[in-house]
Chains A and B, each alone.
Chain A
């Protein structure tokens, strides 16, 4: 005989379990309401825009919405079908419609993204579209022989679906060939992948230089007496509070051919008047200026971690017979790892997306991928800009994941 134990109840007779659940639910709701403003802010200012950007990189309805007849023909006929009279008739009908609605430019822009010098083909033909007579194939080819080119038909087929990989193809230096296959663009037009690689390598280099420079400063800051370390801290923070543009242009004044540094070197006789060193408007300039601008982002996390390291550990190691190098390597350095990780991640991610500084001091070989993203934004090819940004985002997330696997994100310490 097993008796069912009597249900535990609260003073007013409600089951204890239910009462507990409702009390916890209340607390959870309260907590949720407290974070709700931040959550909404993050959703609206961060998640939605990034989602929209990623969507834009795979979606463009400039052609599909303005050329419904041709889109229908492409849907009905599989890839590889020779464009027949029906296809040309659909094209002619769409061109006439474009002329009426003034949408030829919109459609042309979409095709022009993938095949250069086609915009004028569309706008010029659309202007005369209502005079076209059947047979349309002959009529269109007589208008412009380019209408017979397979590359253009492939581009129109790809654009007839608003969802497209075209922009990611361009962003990886690839293009759709005449047979619909994907091929690399001519060597003298390949730029994006190379620039991605360069952006990551340069950012890595800048992060490394920042680490080498920041480590002793942070150590000094953490170990000096309060009065002196405060002064030093102000020196670290002062440039941090100065406008980015001012700092960049100050570097131009210092480093340019007729600048302060070169003038001093010449007046000291270390270099001749003709031997002035080129330190700016090139890759060197980008590295110098970005290192200076990003240095505080390395110093601050390092400092906050180093301050918590007790000097007694190092003393204990020395008293047990370790050399100063061993003490540094085995005792001090491992304890600063969370700071190194945080600083490196911060500097690297900021460097990857930097654009004002390379734009101003980068010259020919010091520009980064962000400069091209900005270029396409200003040339109103937002989809390509979005695709390039998407690739940058994936690259950064990959590195973040790698960092998590190698070091562990829980070890990150920002302050």
Chain B
């Protein structure tokens, strides 16, 4: 029993979908539990932070961290788990790229807090009470962990060995990553446990893509009834397949939905959003400036759409700040 490899799972700023991807291993999770000891998994097991701190450095064989980094607590846990683990996996889009929570970088903390705690129609907060790092009540001082002024991916905070992309990652990839550790067949450090090429290579609809794609206007999925056999881009529906890493078994496409880009950029691409812009620009069927503007207007929120998963790890990382 003593030599069983130890595995830990932790979540930072995430929705819980990545935990779900582990639970979705179904019976396979028993095989994992058989071969390895899960020492820390706040969602499913009762273990305290101190239990982790008491472990020797490098005692955990592999740790999977999902979620983006936006609180002091996330940073300290990421650093602690890094110290205690031989291998660290960024698990899911948020840890990999910043994910959907990374879109918070388009706003200031003030805007986000006011929106969430005061201005949402279902919130009743007439005194505009916001969470603060420190609250005094009589003699007691209540403390909350600090909120960072930007969302970061795991890579931007600690050294990451491998990445399991996806929002959430398909259970098959999670299983592959865990088996890779258990069977000791590790790829080079920094590898992403997925394809190296774009999704289009494995897309079941790739045969229907015409030689020359030209789009007179972009359509959102509720605006048309699209052909379930045809290439999405050919029908004017924005599909991120050409600029997104494959390896997801084209699950969304098979469910008749276009790719949203959760697997992040392919190798050699730094900024998935900018590349998406480049892709869609090249498809626009016009060379007249006014006409092009009209086509661009059919994309209501280009920044949010192109950077849906990758804003925090993009070149700009978010909204610019004004110098004081």
Partners in one complex: no
